């Protein structure tokens, strides 16, 4: 397919129709799953492409996913590839090859040709920290792209990050119990360096038309997943009445949890006090509740 694909009275440009720029631990996996299981979308088999924010994209999961796809095809008897599996096969092979090359927006656009007449997007939480010159390049190439920011109470988001690290044996439990030890780990982490939803939004809105940018609250995913799903799908131009995945589906529901202590919560609330106030001022709603919760 070249150029554009007709979609009713709307034209979908070659390339991604939307970016989800983060933030991590704020529902980006949920969003990927909802789109993956919706007939109006074709989603890349790699959830987080990390293509745009690296000079030489790593595509670190591409080889593993390709191996699984080849194994499954063999287990099913081999033979001709069906349509969706054939697209996935080509995508993954191209993704592996892309690791040897510099980031190229034209190549990136071509990776989404497999969507045909459907919508597609790139859900990579690290995009929230992209520099402005790169944001300008991306919007110059994809001027109609829609941008989604998933937001979460920064204290809970940071804690979720470290709970994940703890499950993966990358942060010892004792460092999540002692405030001094915890802060040494925290201040060298991605959770500290990613920035605030307020500053991220201000940065992106200098390049994205306001009607193409939409922040969403993790609070709504917890309290009203069906309503959040509907709002996001409508923003992306998809039909909320389609799709067979439960809006409340959470692939991580069975993961072991570790509760935050009052002492760790207090030091995180102090660290994020400025972010809490800025979010309350810019976004209102749930963000105002965050600020009140932590006395910011």
**CA pair distance 52, 22, nearest whole angstrom:** 13
* Chain segment 34-61, per-residue pLDDT in tens: 999 999 999 999 999 999 988 888 888 9
| Average pLDDT along the chain | 91
Most confident of 11-25, 81-95, 168-182, 233-247: 233-247
**Structural domain contains residue 46:** yes
**Structural domain contains residue 227:** yes
How much is the average pLDDT of 99-117? 94
**Structural domain contains residue 64:** no
**Structural domain contains residue 143:** yes
Residues spanned by the domain of 231: 4-54+103-293
Which residues is 11 bridged to in the sheet? 6
**Structural domain contains residue 70:** no
Name the pLDDT band for 195 (thresholds 50, 70, 90).
Answer: confident
**Structural domain contains residue 90:** no
The reported pLDDT for the residue numbered 9 is 33
- Helix axis angle for 154-167 and 179-186, nearest 10°, is 90
**Structural domain contains residue 77:** no
Enter the pTM of the model: 0.92
Separation in Å, CA 90 to CA 71, 185, 275: 15, 40, 43
Percent of the chain with pLDDT over 90: 78
Domain tally, the chain: 1
Domain harbouring 158, CATH code: 3.40.50.300
| Buried b / exposed e along 46-64 (16+ C-beta atoms within 10 A) | bbbbbbbbeeebebebbee
Please, how many CA atoms are within 13 Å of residue 238, restricted to the half-sphere of its CB? 27
CB 265 within 8 A of CB 156: no
**Structural domain contains residue 59:** no
């Amino acid at each position: 397919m070249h150029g554009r694909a007709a979609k009713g009275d709307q034209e979908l440009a070659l390339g991604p129709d939307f970016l989800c720029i983060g933030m991590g631990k704020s529902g980006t996996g949920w969003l990927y799953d909802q789109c993956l299981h919706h007939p109006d979308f074709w989603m890349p088999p790699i959830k987080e492409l990390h293509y745009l924010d690296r000079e030489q994209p790593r595509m670190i999961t591409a080889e593993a996913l390709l191996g699984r796809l080849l194994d499954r095809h063999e287990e099913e008897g081999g033979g001709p590839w069906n349509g969706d599996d054939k697209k996935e096969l080509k995508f993954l092979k191209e993704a592996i090859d892309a690791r040897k090359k510099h980031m190229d927006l034209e190549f990136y656009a071509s990776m989404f040709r497999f969507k045909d007449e459907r919508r597609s997007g790139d859900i990579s939480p690290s995009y929230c920290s992209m520099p402005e010159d790169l944001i300008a390049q991306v919007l110059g190439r994809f001027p109609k792209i829609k941008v989604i920011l998933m937001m979460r109470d920064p204290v809970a988001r940071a804690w979720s990050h470290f709970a994940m690290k703890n499950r993966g044996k990358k942060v010892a439990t004792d460092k999540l119990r002692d405030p001094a030890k915890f802060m040494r780990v925290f201040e060298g982490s991605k959770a500290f360096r990613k920035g605030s939803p307020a500053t991220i939004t201000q940065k992106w809105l200098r390049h994205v038309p306001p009607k193409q940018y939409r922040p969403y609250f993790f609070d709504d995913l917890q309290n009203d997943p069906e309503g959040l799903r509907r709002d996001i799908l409508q923003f992306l131009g998809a039909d909320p009445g389609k799709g067979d995945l439960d809006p409340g589906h959470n692939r991580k529901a069975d993961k072991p949890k570790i509760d935050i202590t009052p002492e760790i919560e207090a030091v995180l609330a102090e660290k994020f006090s400025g972010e809490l106030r800025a979010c309350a001022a810019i976004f209102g709603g749930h963000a105002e509740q965050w600020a009140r919760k932590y006395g910011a």
